[in-house]
Every structure is written in structure tokens, then in C-alpha cells.
Chains A and B, each alone.
Chain A
């Protein structure tokens, strides 16, 4: 049997029990950020320094640079681990990979540092993160007020699953604060919004949402997938819980599925037992990939923004394009909110092609650089049409009511150079113009 003299986990976390405790007031253990490997959480001024160094550690046995992949499902048990189970701090020790493992801890610490959070838990998908976070703060009979502009998976959770659990949701216009407040019921527990919506890129005024929540003693959960912590530090604005689909910008390479929930240690400790029960834990290899991808997050987001803004500006003046949605364009309805809240804009651009869905489909076929695929946030540009992918379940009239006009294109601009992207769109839109002229001849 191997024995260890060092704590396998967060050494700053110790049992609350000691001799001489007569009542609860004698308990001395206080809550601390983490769990971390026990090293002090650095506070660097630069997001890239944070992205590269926070949470990452070199292998103490070999000196190999970078966090090793701990591809183990279980860990050696000693008195320390058994005590952590008995005394209720098992989250701070390595016991079983689903409860927490070193590869998860490394990426969780990095994500927490980037988001300004005390604690984080990574999940096997964005939807695992969202479902677990929402259900952690919903009790029997509870109600959530959420945006009517929601990612389809989240909409399905609210629309299809909550009623089965004796819970309910009211979906409202994220710009209509009176409607948000009017939708609050005595059993409402959560306000749930996406920081930047999909596909119309509505930028939600989060400080206003937080103000309403505080007035009514509610928790705020924000899905900041499109914004990333480089663009928006939600917790600093008073948000309680931030969720991300880490499959998108956080990882950035379109090569894994993951999610994350971040917030205070108090609230994330309430999410942890739900994660154990619902089972959506992230495996060590995916944790490693996410940790590696995150190291370039800040420079990728800058590149996404630069290319997206240049391309959006080009598309807005093109006669074949009816309308462009991009928060940095002065024409965007939320331009002022974006300028006030976002340190870095998203890489997504949504635009409407003249001629409807058929013309949009022709454009996609004529493009050479962007790949026709769903998802977003990768280094490569991805392009898709809501009418036959993300919003295919709705009728055309329903899509129009949601603001998704015929010909709407969802483009996730990668980190390719703007000149190449613009040249590709120029040739593709030129082909469409030529075809139109031929048809009319």
C-alpha cells in the first residue's frame, strides 16, 4: 500500500471538527475559493497571462512543462480521503474522477481566474452545465423568467423538461424590463439570460437584469458563451452564476464538447452535488484539451473581433446584403449597450441576404473559406442558416416573429485574416449577382 505525507487535493481545506466543540458557534472552518492545488491564486493584470499560467502546473516528478493528463478514473484512498467524505469536504480531495480530478482542477482554476470567480466546475457539455446549474437553484414548484431569445437546447430544458419536474418558465423579450419584472411570480427563483443572443446578437443589459433580481431576491444566471470572459466579466456586474458552452470560444478549436459553471464558492458548492447526481463530468483528456485551448483565448478573441468587424463592415455596404447584425456596428440596436459593457466583441456576425433562404443557401455554396457547419467559436469560420439548422423546428412565420427574416445567415468568423474572408465573400456574392443578372437577361 502506498502512503502519502502530502495532501492529495486542496491542502488549505481541512476538517471543521476539533476537540472542545460544544455548539455550532465553535466551528472555525470558513469558506475559501477553490478547490485549487493549494498554491496561491495569482492575480495578473493581463488576461493572456492569466490564460497561460493560472491553474497550469508542471509535472513535479519529471519536470515536464505543462499540466499532465491524469487519465485515471480513481485515486488511492487513505485516512485523509475518508475523513473528507465523513466531514463533508470531499470536493477538496481526489477520490473518484467524476467527483473531481487534477486535469479538471487545472482547467477550472484557469477558468475561474479568467472569469474572476471563486470556483468553477467543468462539465461534459454546455447543456450539462446549463441543466445542472439551473436545477441547482430551482426548488419544487419553482419558476424561472428567461429570455425568449434562447439557445435551442436551453429552450427545450425550459419548455419540455421543467413542466415534467413541476417547475415552469416564462420567456420574455430581453430588452423589455417591464415585461421581465411583470413575469416574476411568488415562486420565481431565477432570471436566466444569454449575454449575447443567438442568432440576432442582442446584447442584454446585464446590470439592469441584476438590479431587477436584487429587488425581488432572485438569482441571476447568465450564459456568456458568445461573450467569453474576455468580452464580459459577468460576476463583476453582480451576476450570481455564469455558464458557458466551452465547446465554442473557450476551447476555440472545434475539437471537444464541454461546459462550465462559475460563481462564488458558496453557490458552486451547491452545484457540485447536482453534478455528481446528474453525472455530466468532463473526462481528463477533454479537460487537458480545454486547458490548452484556453491559453490563447485572449488573442483569439481579439482576432475574432477584428476579422468579424472588418467583414461586417464590408457586408453592410454590399448591395446583395439586406441587413447586418454585429454589436460593434453603429446600426446594431444594442450598439450603445455593447460599447458600455463589452471589452471585446464576439466573433459572430449575422446577416440577411436579399432574395431569402434560397439566395442564402446559394451564397453558402459559393463560399470557399467558411465551412458549412453548426457550432461556433472555432479558429475556422463556420457558417449556417437558422432556417434549416438551429431554428428548423419553427415555421417561417414564427422565425419572422423572432426577428429571423428569410435569408438570415449565421456566421462564426474564425481567426482567418479579414482580407481573405472579404475576398471570399466578394467572389461568392459576385457569383450570386452574376446569376441574378443572367436570370434577368
Chain B
């Protein structure tokens, strides 16, 4: 099976969604709990795939390095953000390659990004709080031309949910439930 993805099933899913759009609706959730200092514990909540419940017994931690008052026990929130972006771009790239019949031999995406903590600290009004830029390089080998890989690259970013979430404004709707003690 090319790239470990069944192209026939992928095609059938695409055309099922064309006929029954609710099968394309994915509901996700995570729950994050403070452990200590900058360290937190994250658990995936049950996912709904086209209205069908899927158990997700996965958990991970987030932390900051000691220099940022943490204990350096886990990847930090920015690294987790980049990994979520990169993993999504990789799925998109592989799905597109499989649909086009391209056999991938190796695939690696390298990410780098810098941010200025003065924004977080609030000591420089003109400094962006978040990443002003994210740089990545895709290293791929497979049975397609450089031109075909570039076309696939562009299409995969255009169709990557996480890349598009970062590129486009997204509503962040929050609430707080507080208990005063």
C-alpha cells in the first residue's frame, strides 16, 4: 500500500463526505491541568469522527526550561504548537501524495521560529507577543519531479487545517469559572 495510506479508502471517504457532509465533521478537545510551576498535564478528550465517538486515551505534558522558571520536563507550548503544525502539514502532504500516486521514501519537515518575550512581559508595546514568522523546510525523497513536489507542497499547505488556522484569524472564545477562597 503506497505510503501506508489506502488510496481507495481515501477516495471512498471523500465521496462519502460529498454525499453526507456530516461525516466530515470532526470534534476535538483536550483538557489541560496545572501540575506545578510551569508544568501542566494534557489529556485528549473523546473525539467525534463524523458523529461517531472514538476513545482517545492519550496524555502528554508541557513545561518550560529552567531559565524560564520551569523544570524542563517536557516540550514547551511553542514547541507543541510547531509540532501540531508540522504533523498536520505532514498528513496533508502524504494524503495528497497518495491521491496523486506518488511514492514517498522519506519525509522530514524542519521548523524554526523566534519570538521576543518582551511582548509576553509587556515591556515593549511594539513587540509582537506571538511568532512574527515561522520557517520550515521540507526534505522529501520519492518518485516525483521537483516540480511535482513543489505543486504538492503548495496544495498541502492550502489544505492543512492547522496551517490555515495559523494563517487565518480564528475566534478564540473564552470563559472563566472562578472560585474565590
Which residue of chain A has its CB nearest to the CB of B58? A140
Q: Are B56 and A139 in contact (CB under 8 A)?
A: yes
Assign chain A's interface to a size class. 35 or more
B153 interface hit (Cβ, 8 Å): no
Kindly identify which residue among A28, A88, A139, A187 contacts B1, using a CB–CB cutoff of 8 Å: A88
Which residue of chain B has its CB nearest to the CB of A188? B53
A217 interface hit (Cβ, 8 Å): yes
Within 8 A of A (CB), among B6-43: 6-12, 14-16
Contact of A85 with B1 at beta-carbon distance under 8 Å, contacts A17-B101, A27-B14, A186-B45 already known: yes
Question: Chain A's nearest CB lies how many Å from the CB of B150?
Answer: 13
Q: Are B55 and A16 in contact (CB under 8 A)?
A: no
A440 interface hit (Cβ, 8 Å): no
Residue picked from B10, B46, B55, B159, most chain A C-beta under 10 Å: B55
Q: Are A88 and B96 in contact (CB under 8 A)?
A: no
Chain B residues with CB below 8 A from A138, complex form:
55
A216 interface hit (Cβ, 8 Å): yes
Chain A residues with CB below 8 A from B14, complex form:
24-25, 27
- How far apart sit A29 and B12, CA to CA, in the bound complex (Å)? 6
Chain A residues with CB below 8 A from B15, complex form:
27-31
- The 0/1 profile, CB within 8 Å of B marked 1, for residues 296-328 of chain A is 000000000000000000000000000000000
- How far apart sit A13 and B96, CA to CA, in the bound complex (Å)? 21
Assign chain B's interface to a size class. 20 to 34
Q: Are B55 and A88 in contact (CB under 8 A)?
A: no
Question: Chain B's nearest CB lies how many Å from the CB of A215?
Answer: 11
Contact of A17 with B7 at beta-carbon distance under 8 Å, contacts A29-B15, A87-B2, A186-B46 already known: yes
Q: Are A87 and B57 in contact (CB under 8 A)?
A: no
Q: Are A23 and B155 in contact (CB under 8 A)?
A: yes
Q: Are B12 and A86 in contact (CB under 8 A)?
A: no
- How far apart sit A27 and B99, CA to CA, in the bound complex (Å)? 7
Question: Chain A's nearest CB lies how many Å from the CB of B21?
Answer: 13
B170 interface hit (Cβ, 8 Å): no
Chain A residues with CB below 8 A from B48, complex form:
217
Kindly identify which residue among A24, A88, A140, A188 contacts B6, using a CB–CB cutoff of 8 Å: A88
Q: Are B99 and A26 in contact (CB under 8 A)?
A: yes
- How far apart sit A24 and B95, CA to CA, in the bound complex (Å)? 8
Kindly identify which residue among B7, B53, B54, B159 contacts A87, using a CB–CB cutoff of 8 Å: B7
- How far apart sit A23 and B137, CA to CA, in the bound complex (Å)? 21
B113 interface hit (Cβ, 8 Å): no
Kindly identify which residue among B51, B55, B99 contacts A24, using a CB–CB cutoff of 8 Å: B99
Which residue of chain B has its CB nearest to the CB of A218? B53
A295 interface hit (Cβ, 8 Å): no
Contact of A88 with B9 at beta-carbon distance under 8 Å, contacts A17-B101, A31-B16, A186-B46 already known: yes
A98 interface hit (Cβ, 8 Å): no
Q: Are B53 and A217 in contact (CB under 8 A)?
A: yes
Kindly identify which residue among A13, A89, A187 contacts B57, using a CB–CB cutoff of 8 Å: A187
Q: Are B53 and A88 in contact (CB under 8 A)?
A: no
Question: Chain A's nearest CB lies how many Å from the CB of B34?
Answer: 21
Residue picked from A24, A26, A143, most chain B C-beta under 10 Å: A24
B73 interface hit (Cβ, 8 Å): no
Chain B residues with CB below 8 A from A15, complex form:
7-8
Question: Chain A's nearest CB lies how many Å from the CB of B93?
Answer: 12
Task: Give the top 10 A-B pairs by smallest Cβ distance, nearest first.
Answer: A141-B57, A88-B6, A16-B11, A27-B11, A142-B55, A29-B11, A89-B8, A31-B12, A88-B8, A187-B55
Q: Can you list 22 pairs linking A and B with CB atoms under 8 Å apart? A: A17-B7, A22-B100, A23-B99, A27-B7, A27-B99, A29-B8, A30-B12, A31-B15, A87-B6, A88-B9, A139-B55, A139-B57, A141-B55, A142-B57, A188-B53, A188-B55, A189-B55, A217-B48, A217-B53, A218-B52, A266-B16, A269-B9
Task: List 11 other contacts, CB 8 Å, given A28-B15, A166-B57, A188-B55.
Answer: A21-B100, A27-B7, A27-B14, A29-B11, A30-B15, A31-B15, A140-B55, A143-B55, A186-B45, A187-B57, A269-B9
